[in-house]
Structure 1
Amino acid sequence: MEDLILSVDVGTTVIKCVLINTVGEERGVVEYHCGQISKPNGIVEQDNEEMWKLVIATLRDSREHVTADQRIRGIVLSTQGGSVIPVDENYMPTNHMVTWLDSRALLIVQEWSKDGTSQRVRQISGWSPQPGLPFSVIAWFQRNDPKTFKKTRYWLPVNAFLNYRLTGQSSTNPSMAAEMLLTDIRTCEWNQELCDIIGITTDQLPPVFASTAVVGELTEQVCQQTGLPQGLPVFQGGQDHSAEALVLGVLGSDQGFLACGTAWVINAVTHHGNVEQIPPQMDLNFHVIPDLWIASQFLGGFGAYPEWMQKQFWENQATSSKRENRFAVMNQALSENKQLDPSLLFLPLNGSAFARNVPPGGGFTGLRLDHKAVDMTRAVLETSAFEVRWALESLKKEGTQIQQLWMIGGAARSPIWPQIIADVNGVTVSLTTYSHGPAMGAAMLACLGLGVYQTVEECAQFFKIQKKEVHPDLNLGEFYQAKFEKYQKAIQELDW
């Protein structure tokens, strides 16, 4: 009899259930797309009931992949972090889920930056307040929607809401709790001083348990809705990026991973919860593994650059108007053109992550009449690599030197971009074509919770994903050292 884990990955736009056996082999995938609700004034929400219906649908439809010689041993969640669901005393929502993309609390965050509140919040929680994260969102409700604020008994991260719906027990795990910005990053306990700032108490937040802990068993109602057997345990799991770090094997202080969606986020493992020992631009979260933390930093919206480059430089250079043909022409030109320009720089459209006062907008510097589309395209791609290098050098100053860097997301599938990242940073870049990393990492946590494996190291011997390594061209070391210094100088000259 083959044992299966139903690993439910609840993202911002996709909800999926991946069936994975206890030796890390995928046996099926069911996924559905979920919508967002965008309103004026920066409001970006999701319908809680739509999300719940899709979770039920993925669990129900996953049974079609289960054969007579297989049995389901448990359910586990990997979920988007940084979103919050307010509920009443009966755990009924008092508002839609407010997602991490929301910006309604921008003015509050700006106020905190000026009066020192942000600094104090980071000292305790490991995070600087951001407009879309729960700490700021709750403060917005307190000030601007007192009716909803008063009706709300509990403020829940996504997994705590789903855990309640699945089992009747609301709880969360460290990697999800930290993104509420209400825990002590050293102890993972809810902090009343932080709660006081936004007008709530610690008993309005869910209990926190280890990522391998059992939340409870499926309720009778859920079993009826899905056709799943009674007595099925639900495991805590973790925040999606932290769960993916587990299956990638990012567990040491010389390892990091670059999440390359629309937003690029650099992540590095640390063995301490001391926010004073990470660069000031970085935030600190809990790993899904005890006694490990993940330092992270938003670098910019570089994932949107390829489409922008297509429209600006390549729209009329392909024989076909199809998107994939334009990208093929661009990639071929980049691979064939070996001429590297030491002076052509591109400054990020939304500013550098390492400059606080750069005005909106970006552009080229060092541009000449003889520069071609391929030269400008390479300069744009190099910019993202320079921002990564700046982050890695900041980590190095604090004692963390990254030797191996995973790239995950859209940019990792480019035939050109990973090589530029490797060359500029002088590190080996690891890639994978596997697209269900968070679910696979969560399945590892369920296996540890079930006692299938006693240690992470034992589990990792079976849960492996194929990878490809991109090695840096060491002959380009001096070239990119000099160009990176020019890039830093150009950014700093704008930072008044």
Structure 2
Amino acid sequence: MPPPAAVVIGLDAGTTLIKMVAVDAEGIIQASACSDPIPTQTPSPGASVQQPSAIWNALATACQRGMSSLDSSTPVAALALAAQSGSVIAMEGLNGKDDASLITWMDTRSRELVHSWDASTQTTIRTISGWAPSPGLGLSTISWVRAGATVEPRRWAAVDDFLIHELTGSWITNPSNAVGMQLMDVSSLEWSSELCEIAGVETSALSVLSPSGKQAGHLTAIAAETTQLPQATPVVTGGHDQSCAALGLGITTPGSALLSLGTAWVLTMITDRANARAVPNSFNLSPHVVPDRWSVSKNLGGLGAALASEIAYQQPGLSIDLDTELDRSSPNIDDPYFLPALRDVNRINWGQFTGPETPDRIGRLRAVIEACAFEARLTLEQASPSVVVHELTVVGGGTNSRYLTQQIADATGMSLAVQREASRPALGAAMLAAGSRGWPTFNRPTTPIATIHPSLPYNETMDKRYAEYRQLTSGDRQ
């Protein structure tokens, strides 16, 4: 019997859990696993923290579970990590003894500090980092922590470089993750002295920046024992989870874009220009994991949560197939509108209905779906002066609704490539690991992709309703 084929390991360190895939040289997933949920604590209003040890244990658990389903003699050629960004750990001595908790990207306690920055400071941050000042990013969190600290931390880290350090003993990060620290120049891909001065930190307190796909080190003996991976396995610099997902989906060329239809909707568009001044203020500019590529992205807000809330509101037992019910009647110019509360920070409600009369249950759902589709169209229009999209891929829970994806195609006038595979960040990380070993490029995703073309039978009605929707929601965008 021939020995088992070698695999590369891709890891996806998300906020709630960590996933692992083992992929062979043909791009076929030979094993996959995930950790138990990572606990998040809220010790005070606005707080959102996790324990670094819990994150490391989650990675170890995912690796142990995945490796247990492979032959024990399976060679592991390399490992790479996709990770969320924006979360921050004050390492090595915040209180003089132990490392602190990780402050996640969901933490809002720095909000007042961000609002206190003058216009010049905010412009500097946006222009250099590519991201507007906001709670939940490294610059604001670090500034807030330092304002109340009695002992200066010797190191600041995010999830990716913390885990790379646990795996290899080296402090290394990558540009696509470092953008979430908001201390990097998005054009030069180096730490910015101006941004570090605003935060009050030295670049020596930050990890070394290394391109995605470059070897960061080897698995230490302790890490190998903990993860059940072979000792001295090459560890490759990975990237941000959204960028790795885009790589896994083949979204790497200018004009291609990814729309994630999850709890929050996020549009990510690929460009070859690193000019933050050319990007609309409501969008962020980030490095891709692919060389000489950047992504222009925008969080459209909790559209998926608004849709899920409306579906939960529906009377249970009355409908087996909501898509079928939604198709039974045609849209009308006088149908009610749903106006999403995109700026409702406290999440008191997801929006309100407006129109001549209170809509019935299907009318309500149709209005929410229409608003989601209109927001996708609006976002593409807002980006069009700087980024033109020719190919749009959609992923996430929203792809389970044929009616929703058809509405997006009709509203935007674009064909949608629907991808339902859920482990794309981990697969993208595995692709980076494979590339570092000189393996041939994995083929495009082998899972079935449905293509949704615009039908546009009611395009005149839709255009008129879109214009009215823009008028009704214009005050929320000032």
Q: Same fold (TM over 0.5)?
A: yes
Relative contact order (C-alpha < 8 Å, sep 6+): which is higher? 2
Q: CA deviation at 1:36?
A: 0.8
Identity %: 30
After superposition, give the CA deviation of every residue in 1:424-445 in whole Å (9 maximum; x if it has no partner). Answer: 1111111122110001111111
SS of structure 1 residue aligned to 2:268: strand
Match of 2:324 among 332, 356, 363: 332
Report if the CA contact (8 A) 1:173-1:208 is conserved. yes
The reply on whether 1:349 has 2:327 as its aligned counterpart is: no
Bigger mean CA offset, 192-201 vs 64-73: 64-73
Match of 2:352 among 357, 360, 363: 363
CA 494–42 in structure 1, closer or farther in 2 if over 3 Å, else same: closer
Match of 1:13 among 1, 12, 16: 16
CA 214–407 in structure 1, closer or farther in 2 if over 3 Å, else same: same
Match of 2:463 among 464, 469, 481: 481
Q: CA deviation at 1:464?
A: 4.4
Write the distance in 2 (CA, Å) between the matches of 1:178 and 1:494.
28
Q: CA deviation at 1:365?
A: 2.0
Match of 1:70 among 67, 71, 74: 74
In structure 2, runs of 5+ residues without a counterpart are none
SS of structure 2 residue aligned to 1:38: coil
Match of 2:85 in 1: 81
Alignment of 1:46-445 (within 5 A): 46-67=50-71, 70-88=74-92, 94-112=99-117, 114-143=118-147, 145-147=148-150, 150-312=151-313, 314-315=314-315, 318-319=317-318, 328-351=320-343, 362-368=351-357, 371-398=359-386, 400-445=387-432
Write the distance in 2 (CA, Å) between the matches of 1:67 and 1:462.
27
Q: CA deviation at 1:361?
A: 7.0
Which runs of structure 1 show a deviation greater than 4 angstroms over 4 or more consecutive aligned residues?
A: 89-93, 462-465, 493-496
Report if the CA contact (8 A) 2:343-2:476 is conserved. no
After superposition, give the CA deviation of every residue in 1:202-256 in whole Å (9 maximum; x if it has no partner). Answer: 1111011111111111111122233332221111111100001012111222211
Bigger mean CA offset, 302-311 vs 212-221: 302-311
More helix per residue: 1
Instruction: Count matched residues.
Output: 471
Alpha-carbon RMSD? 2.3
Report if the CA contact (8 A) 1:283-1:296 is conserved. yes
SS of structure 2 residue aligned to 1:66: coil
Write the distance in 1 (CA, Å) between the matches of 2:279 and 2:222.
46
**TM norm structure 2:** 0.93
Write the distance in 2 (CA, Å) between the matches of 1:35 and 1:331.
36
Alignment-mate amino acid for residue 266 of structure 1: L
After superposition, give the CA deviation of every residue in 1:290-325 in whole Å (9 maximum; x if it has no partner). Answer: 10000111111012123321343x125x25xxxxxx
After superposition, give the CA deviation of every residue in 1:410-435 in whole Å (9 maximum; x if it has no partner). Answer: 11222321111111111111112211
Write the distance in 2 (CA, Å) between the matches of 1:96 and 1:226.
22
Write the distance in 1 (CA, Å) between the matches of 2:466 and 2:99.
50
Report if the CA contact (8 A) 1:444-1:463 is conserved. no
CA 416–198 in structure 1, closer or farther in 2 if over 3 Å, else same: same
**TM norm structure 1:** 0.90
Write the distance in 1 (CA, Å) between the matches of 2:349 and 2:450.
37
The reply on whether 1:449 has 2:439 as its aligned counterpart is: no
Alignment-mate amino acid for residue 469 of structure 1: T
Q: CA deviation at 1:68?
A: 5.9
In structure 1, runs of 5+ residues without a counterpart are 320-325, 354-358, 454-458
